[in-house]
Structure 1
Amino acid sequence: MLPLPDLLRALGEHGSAVLTAPPGTGKTTVVPLALAEEGLRVLVAEPRRLAVRAAARRMGVSYTIRGERVTGANPMVEVVTTGVLLQRLQRNPELPGVDVVMLDECHERHLDADTALAFLLDVRDTLRPDLRLIATSATADVEPWSRLLGDAPVVTGTGSAYPVEVVWAPPDRPVAPPHGLRVDPALLSHVASVVRQALAASEGDVLCFLPGVGEIRRVAAHLGDLACEVLQVHGQAPAAVQDAVLSAGSARRVVLATSVAESSLTVPGVRVVVDAGLAREPRTDHARGLSSLTTVRVSRAAATQRAGRAGREAPGTVYRCWSEAEHARLAEHPRPEIVLADLTAFALQAACWGGSELALLDQPPAAALAAAQAVLRELGALEERVTGLGRRMALMGVHPRLARALLELGAPAAEVVALLSEQLPREAGDDLAEVWRTARRGGDGFSARWRQEVRRLKQAAGPDPGRGQASGTPASPSAPGPVPDDTLAGRAVALAFPERVARKRGSGFLMANGTRAEPAAGSRLATAEWLAIAVADRQTGQASARIRQAVVIDEETAALAVPPTTGQEVVWRDGDVVARSVTRLGAIELSSRPLEGADVREALLAGLRSDDVLTWSREALALRDRLAFCHRHLGEPWHPVDDLVALADLWLEPELSRARRRKDLERIDVAQALRRLVPWSERLEERAPERIEVPSGSKIRVDYSGERPVLAVKLQELFGWDDAPRVCGVPMVIHLLSPAGRPAAITADLATFWREGYRAVRAELRGRYPKHPWPEDPLEAVASRGTKRGGA
């Protein structure tokens, strides 16, 4: 039961209210008529066209959807889509003649509905303090809406819904989780079996929820032998089918529906709901400008909404095709569209509206909004603020990309734009020009809707191509006479989606935005040199996008959408310097020629960083280690050598200035160049000598590659040396070698070794090397390079 007096009181005292009541209590149809009886003119906004038609029909009032307006008997109430409401607010924000705006089904969190409410709150605060606002929801989670409307009163209706029994009906065997648009056929077969089970176990009609049109058709095929009527209801369904669903039938019915039947609609005769537990959500790859739908598990709130359809007219049953344990793991609510969808249209609406930050339950993600604004700038709709072209685009009632193409090309492009503004039939091919020809010939529901949209767009566009042109956008071609259909289609798609202009590369295509795209196997598009891609998506984990709809074009049309640019490219690529003058169309290379006399320094430095280019001799490696040792233990003014490229100005000049190619770098005498890093005030031989003279007279090379310098020398050459010298104050590590040059001992304290370690080494090695001296007292013995001349 709806507490209408409480609602009227809230509107009178506060100017706004949040109305929550279970499905079937009359929120959508009873409240507007009650307000009209009080002398108030009411505008009801619904998120879906199907709901608009159904609500207006039940109330006998007028309705307006995109391209269609029907006048009803009661002039006090009008039902519109939220998209139409946005258009009216942009044209005249005061909404003359409207006393109350009711935003229905706010809990569904559609982007247009969230945006419209934000605009309405702004209007009420600045222009129409008398405008009354109602937000309605079938869920109990309404506190956020109340706060958003300025702590508006919450009016709660009691449910007249009947009890609904829940039957858990998961598949007997595990099914694959949904991926992208793919749903495991085993699940769809199971859903059809549950429908049969529900028909056998109960009376009344069955309403079955499925994620999309393709799944509806496949389940319908499974049910083809049923004696009852099987209806398919979705956003693309013909009006006659939608009307049949919303009318009581004489025979028993199975209604296969997408989420359009979750709320706002009462399907008469339904006593059973079968829920596949899946829904479709938008996904947007903002970096590549690709949007798609993906299949997700339904939320618990949506599952409750769906179940409620079974209890509107009598006690009912819901069969959930998942387990009770799985239900507990579902998300509580669906994610709001504003955090998932392409925000280009939202960004344009917001830019046209102007003013301060919008009052939204969820602010748009910063990265997604920035990507949308970048698209608008590319389309010429946005500069520092919205342009005149952008304002016209916002009023066209189609996505800004399509509006740009329509305004550039004029009314002749309306048929192509109308195709792109609707979800195409599932059986439509990927060649958009052929889809266009089929739509012209067809007599189905899609063709009828398409013709209706064409009429609207032609009226909106007017006859003059290029009249919407703004600075920064390419001019429309002025070839005399009519433009061939395929050419016009290509121009429209290329202007709407310039970053998706693509050129053949290997087995696929490279788009102007740098993303690879692949046509379907066997597609006629695969042989084209150039494409204008209208619809493409990229599934998670896939490197390339999949081309869904495109038009074959030529290079001239591609250049119309993405004017080519010529620039210098000086880079290190494939192991050498590449210096070219390159003409590109976005990321697509059109032509190139060698570039003489270019500054290649940065490319050479990049090569030094990425490739092993320099010729490192043993001397050069040893010198680098000595320099590193000095920096490590002495600090300034010795330079660090861990990033020699960063010090190129200090040690690689003038060789680097003369170099042009890899071979020039390979010829550099690295050891000689490295000596430039020795500070002018220091002497490397004094700080880190290359060799140390030992008691035998030999000059032994010092190894500086470790933390401490290492001197590897035969033990007999150190007799009489009680301690090794220090280098930069660091004790040397002595590797004492056998006469054969093999390590016999390692010590950093030579004196201790002679006292404590030498005896064991002598005992081990004197029998193996009898010709070499092994004195009892090594400190009194004479160091020797060779064998002994006398006994020891």
Structure 2
Amino acid sequence: MRPSATDRRPPAGEQPWEGLPVRQALPGLLAALDRRGTAVLAAPPGTGKTTLVPLALAGLVPIARESTPDSGPDGGPGGPPRRVVVAEPRRLAVRAAARRMAWLLGEQPGGRVGFSMRGERRAGPGTLVEVVTTGVLLQRLQRDPELTGVDTVLLDECHERHLDADTALAFLLDVRAALRPELRLVTASATSDTAAWARLLGGEDGPAPVVEAQGTAHEVAVVWAPPPRPVRPPQGTRVDPALLDHVAATVRRALAECGGDVLCFLPGVGEIARVAGLLGGADGVDVLQVHGGAPQAVQDAVLAPGERRRVVLATSVAESSLTVPGVRAVVDCGLAREPRTDHARGLSSLVTVRASLAAARQRAGRAGREAPGTVYRCWQQAEDARTAPYPAPEIALADLTSFALQAACWGDPDAAGLALPDPPPSGALAAAREALRAVGAVDGSGRVTARGRSMAAVGVHPRLARALLDGAARVGARRAAEVVALLSEEPPRALGDDLAAVWRQARAGGGGHPGWAARWRDEVGRLRRGLDGAAAPDEGPEVSDGASDAVPDRVSDGAAAGLVVALAFPERVARMRGDRTRGDRPEPGAARVPYLMASGTAAEVAGGSPLAGEPWLAVAVADRPAGSPSARVLRAAAIGEDAARWAAAPLLAVREEVVWAVPDGGRRGEVAARRVEALGAVELAAVPLRSPEPGLLRAALLDGLAREGVSALLTWREAAVGLRERLAFLHRALGGPWPEVSDGALLARAEEWLGPELARARRRADLERIDTAEALRRLLPWAGGEALRLDALAPERIEVPSGSRIRVDYSGERPVLAVKLQELFGWDAAPALAGGRVPLTVHLLSPAGRPAAVTGDLASFWRDGYRAVRAELRGRYPRHPWPEDPTRAEPTRRTRPRR
């Protein structure tokens, strides 16, 4: 086995921790805690902050201290040993940290150093340092806010900004302020961005002390290794295969150019598996895959030196939480995964994003932990200018339902009094509280109920806790726990999308995934114990009868899976789209089968799935690919309609539905009034509604006007068109009080000018019969008397010298008077409209009614233009008068009599 700088024993007489760089910072840290009780520790990866600092805080290693009243005479730790809790954001890091600290003491985990995580605990009465996940720490704080017997809490890797860690810090600050001011609190970060943490921990007394440990990291050479051809940016969780091909090639290059092991960072399990497949033929090299769901044997192998060279393919868990010995080269694909929540659709998912600059530095540092190393960055250097400096805090991105329940149990439902590094987004918190109200976890004011406390004690997402508690009475405790465990310990994607089939494989040993199956069994046992210890909830939509294994309705396993999933995600109950009266089934070979969720979200199931064509589904996992109108069902179970109605009962409603409906392929809409029974957005049954509520009817008619347009749906006869054009002209020329009469403006004031007719209308024909000219007159400015000047400001007709009353055309930008030339003899000027502001444009017509000239100045026309018109037209129209001086001629509508 190759030696490792981290695991090899020191020379005789030297303790294994003496060479760790953080040792030099310990006297200052201990002194800061003696003075203030809080401190921020900034220590780069590899300095020993995760392993040596807790041992020093517990008094388990002799560390020279600055002179303090409780120091021992030899400068070593004074007083009795202290109990220390170390909180890590990931289970993988918990086990690794405990194992490393125990090794430093020459022990195995479970003695003076222990650990606890969901479903596993190795600690006893003599344990002084206990490493826990932040989730476990939150559970302990809820059970025992004083943390009885604990002297110091160290929150590790706080720079990663996990939501549980931020919440735990806020709760601990509350504990120090109100219950235990002597409780010591340390936040440890692998970055130097410590000012905000110092302000938060220090509170009103000023910033907490910041202690920095200088690392001994070796120089890391940076090699920019972008793909030879452009690759598509990630969409959702999809990563361009061309990038992964390039990453695999870069790993081979690193193996050829560098000694030691290669650590390669990838965003997720799928990408790790693909690159591992591409590297399968690497001679003399072991390829290890490290992620949160990796088997324990793989995790142990990564943390120990190997006999051969290794390529370790890892997610971000290896950025700062784990020390991988033997690494001399890092290959960084430059991507990471972040949570996203679509509150409108009730979907949570992970998306692939560019890793922050801080993450890139952390990853690169892994190459220089033991010796000079090299980092290969698979992107253009110029891209760093557009990259975020730090990762986004999880509280800004994630589903906040669990956080909201934690805050409610803590007694602060609004989280307004919590000292959080960043406040929760108000919209996301409101959505979370609404979800908790729907399952009876909080009351109308947001205060936690007895049922909510039982749900929180289970230690899973509140949705899953609801499914466990309510499902146990319906399908039996064992089966409820087994299905919920499938939802909390996500099965490998290779097991398929049919949750009932996955359940059978889990019971049979995991279908080729024994490590996951073992974790699933452990989670089932933990959930069963949680059910046994939970008080029967006495509030909420459904009440559990306790943890009995009895199956009251003899529900089959397949039906049980669907029912429990529907209890967890009632808004994701989905029905296949199509005409179910004809028994529609999906087309053979269809690529996707469409469904509609109760939330209103369209969803699709792969055509080859065993779920395709099931009338009803309970969807456990779905995502919505970028740019897609439909969600993609990734895991679900078939469910019957009766079970769907029971599980999603709060979404069941009977409503009057009055809408403006347009037939498929049609253009003429009509009012459709029905009484609808629905499960959320999924329609179950409908009957015609004979007397719809007037408000709903009016809203439907207004929707019809909006969709088809005021000009198209209403009837506009000549008088109405003329009045509308005159009003439009006055609005352009004078503005208020003359109304705007565009389609949009008329729609906005529809209830005002269509008032009585709209109130009486029940269908399209009623709208079409409205006298729009009469209705428009309601918009005239009657109150100020301006309406009486309509005919003066914009006359419908103008009398010309011949005595004719000619209609004015207001349809264009300028009003136009079109009249035969002979009728205007002797007229020096046409009248100006809008109170003299807008000149009238005159279209002079030939005797045949064709335009002969256009002018806005008649006097100028008679003087300069008439001669040319006269010369052109007098021969063609000899019976009409063409005087030489039109200004003195008699206007006429008639021709000269024949001689």
TM-score range (shorter-chain normalised) is over 0.9
Shift in Å at residue 46 of structure 1? 0.5
8 Å Cα contact 2:471/2:567 also seen in 1: no
SS at match of 1:375: helix
Structure 2 CA distance for partners of 1:634 and 1:136, relative to 1, 3 Å: closer
8 Å Cα contact 1:614/1:666 also seen in 2: yes
Instruction: Say if 2:178 is the partner of 1:178.
Output: no
Matched ranges for 1:547-696 at <5 A? 547-563=633-649, 564-574=652-662, 575-598=669-692, 599=694, 600-611=697-708, 612-628=712-728, 641-642=741-742, 643-645=745-747, 652=754, 655-671=757-773, 673-674=775-776, 682=788, 688-696=794-802
> Aligned letter for 1:782?
E
Instruction: Say if 2:740 is the partner of 1:740.
Output: no
8 Å Cα contact 2:497/2:609 also seen in 1: yes
8 Å Cα contact 1:210/1:256 also seen in 2: yes
Structure 2 CA distance for partners of 1:538 and 1:783, relative to 1, 3 Å: same
Structure 2 CA distance for partners of 1:488 and 1:702, relative to 1, 3 Å: same
8 Å Cα contact 2:328/2:371 also seen in 1: yes
Give the Cα–Cα distance (whole angstroms) in 1 for the partners of residues 644 and 703 of structure 2. 33
In the superposition, the TM-score normalised over structure 1's length comes to 0.94
Shift in Å at residue 476 of structure 1? 9.0
Contiguous gaps of at least 5 residues in structure 2: 1-20, 60-76, 103-112, 579-592, 663-668
Give the corresponding residue for 1:306. 363
Give the corresponding residue for 1:502. 574
Give the Cα–Cα distance (whole angstroms) in 2 for the partners of residues 207 and 632 of structure 1. 71
Aligned residues: 790
Instruction: Say if 2:217 is the partner of 1:161.
Output: yes
Give the corresponding residue for 1:428. 495
1:113-151: per-residue Cα shift (whole Å, max 9, x none)? Answer: 111111111111111110111111111111111111111
Give the Cα–Cα distance (whole angstroms) in 1 for the partners of residues 671 and 302 of structure 2. 69
Give the Cα–Cα distance (whole angstroms) in 1 for the partners of residues 227 and 735 of structure 2. 72
Tell me whether 682-691 or 173-182 shows the greater mean CA deviation: 682-691
Instruction: Say if 2:247 is the partner of 1:247.
Output: no
Tell me whether 371-380 or 399-408 shows the greater mean CA deviation: 371-380
Structure 2 CA distance for partners of 1:769 and 1:341, relative to 1, 3 Å: same
Give the corresponding residue for 2:431. 371
Query: Which of 151, 154, 177 lines up with 1:99 in the alignment?
Result: 151
SS at match of 1:338: helix
Give the Cα–Cα distance (whole angstroms) in 2 for the partners of residues 297 and 689 of structure 1. 67
Query: Which of 157, 160, 168 lines up with 1:116 in the alignment?
Result: 168
SS at match of 2:340: strand
Give the Cα–Cα distance (whole angstroms) in 2 for the partners of residues 668 and 475 of structure 1. 60
Shift in Å at residue 646 of structure 1? 5.7
Structure 2 CA distance for partners of 1:471 and 1:695, relative to 1, 3 Å: same
> Aligned letter for 1:166?
V
Give the Cα–Cα distance (whole angstroms) in 2 for the partners of residues 103 and 424 of structure 1. 30
SS at match of 1:525: coil
Instruction: Say if 2:518 is the partner of 1:456.
Output: no
SS at match of 1:296: strand
Shift in Å at residue 435 of structure 1? 0.7
Matched ranges for 1:41-80 at <5 A? 41-60=83-102, 61-71=113-123, 75-80=127-132
8 Å Cα contact 1:409/1:476 also seen in 2: no
Give the corresponding residue for 1:518. 604
Give the Cα–Cα distance (whole angstroms) in 1 for the partners of residues 297 and 845 of structure 2. 99
Give the Cα–Cα distance (whole angstroms) in 2 for the partners of residues 133 and 461 of structure 1. 33
Shift in Å at residue 445 of structure 1? 0.3
Shift in Å at residue 449 of structure 1? 0.2
Structure 2 CA distance for partners of 1:117 and 1:647, relative to 1, 3 Å: closer
Structure 2 CA distance for partners of 1:579 and 1:166, relative to 1, 3 Å: same
Instruction: Say if 2:469 is the partner of 1:407.
Output: yes
Structure 2 CA distance for partners of 1:140 and 1:74, relative to 1, 3 Å: farther
**Identity across the alignment (%):** 66
Give the Cα–Cα distance (whole angstroms) in 2 for the partners of residues 391 and 129 of structure 1. 27
Give the Cα–Cα distance (whole angstroms) in 2 for the partners of residues 637 and 281 of structure 1. 55
Tell me whether 206-215 or 434-443 shows the greater mean CA deviation: 206-215
Matched ranges for 1:456-475 at <5 A? 456-462=526-532, 467-468=536-537, 470-472=539-541
SS at match of 1:590: strand
Give the Cα–Cα distance (whole angstroms) in 2 for the partners of residues 673 and 305 of structure 1. 72
Structure 2 CA distance for partners of 1:89 and 1:662, relative to 1, 3 Å: same
Give the Cα–Cα distance (whole angstroms) in 2 for the partners of residues 5 and 269 of structure 1. 30
Give the corresponding residue for 1:10. 32
Give the Cα–Cα distance (whole angstroms) in 2 for the partners of residues 310 and 690 of structure 1. 87
Give the corresponding residue for 1:276. 333
SS at match of 1:398: coil
Shift in Å at residue 269 of structure 1? 2.2
Give the corresponding residue for 1:23. 45
Give the corresponding residue for 1:208. 264
1:513-534: per-residue Cα shift (whole Å, max 9, x none)? Answer: 1110001231121211111101
Shift in Å at residue 110 of structure 1? 1.0
Give the Cα–Cα distance (whole angstroms) in 2 for the partners of residues 630 and 222 of structure 1. 75
Give the Cα–Cα distance (whole angstroms) in 2 for the partners of residues 627 and 256 of structure 1. 73
8 Å Cα contact 1:63/1:72 also seen in 2: no
Give the Cα–Cα distance (whole angstroms) in 2 for the partners of residues 203 and 676 of structure 1. 88
Shift in Å at residue 578 of structure 1? 1.1
Structure 2 CA distance for partners of 1:644 and 1:663, relative to 1, 3 Å: same
Shift in Å at residue 357 of structure 1? 2.7
Structure 2 CA distance for partners of 1:623 and 1:323, relative to 1, 3 Å: closer
Matched ranges for 1:534-553 at <5 A? 534-553=620-639
Shift in Å at residue 636 of structure 1? 8.5
Give the Cα–Cα distance (whole angstroms) in 1 for the partners of residues 45 and 829 of structure 2. 95
Contiguous gaps of at least 5 residues in structure 1: none
Shift in Å at residue 635 of structure 1? 8.2
Give the Cα–Cα distance (whole angstroms) in 1 for the partners of residues 334 and 732 of structure 2. 65
Give the Cα–Cα distance (whole angstroms) in 2 for the partners of residues 649 and 363 of structure 1. 43
Tell me whether 223-232 or 122-131 shows the greater mean CA deviation: 223-232
Matched ranges for 1:133-152 at <5 A? 133-150=185-202, 151-152=207-208
> Aligned letter for 2:268?
G
Give the corresponding residue for 2:804. 698
1:148-192: per-residue Cα shift (whole Å, max 9, x none)? Answer: 111111111121222223233333333332222222223222222
Give the Cα–Cα distance (whole angstroms) in 2 for the partners of residues 403 and 144 of structure 1. 35
In the superposition, the TM-score normalised over structure 2's length comes to 0.83
CA RMSD of aligned residues (A): 2.7
Shift in Å at residue 788 of structure 1? 3.3
Shift in Å at residue 287 of structure 1? 1.4
Shift in Å at residue 274 of structure 1? 2.2
Shift in Å at residue 431 of structure 1? 0.6
SS at match of 1:723: coil
SS at match of 2:638: strand
Give the corresponding residue for 2:552. 480
> Aligned letter for 1:315?
P
Give the Cα–Cα distance (whole angstroms) in 1 for the partners of residues 553 and 621 of structure 2. 29
Tell me whether 663-672 or 642-651 shows the greater mean CA deviation: 642-651
> Aligned letter for 1:696?
S
Query: Which of 808, 816, 831 lines up with 1:710 in the alignment?
Result: 816
Structure 2 CA distance for partners of 1:178 and 1:597, relative to 1, 3 Å: closer
Tell me whether 170-179 or 631-640 shows the greater mean CA deviation: 631-640
1:173-228: per-residue Cα shift (whole Å, max 9, x none)? Answer: 33332222222223222222222232233332222222211222222222223223
Tell me whether 754-763 or 519-528 shows the greater mean CA deviation: 754-763
SS at match of 2:358: helix
> Aligned letter for 1:83?
G
> Aligned letter for 1:527?
G
Structure 2 CA distance for partners of 1:593 and 1:262, relative to 1, 3 Å: same
Give the Cα–Cα distance (whole angstroms) in 1 for the partners of residues 521 and 551 of structure 2. 27
Structure 2 CA distance for partners of 1:671 and 1:189, relative to 1, 3 Å: closer
Give the Cα–Cα distance (whole angstroms) in 2 for the partners of residues 652 and 323 of structure 1. 63
8 Å Cα contact 1:715/1:737 also seen in 2: yes
8 Å Cα contact 2:159/2:189 also seen in 1: yes
Give the Cα–Cα distance (whole angstroms) in 1 for the partners of residues 312 and 737 of structure 2. 84
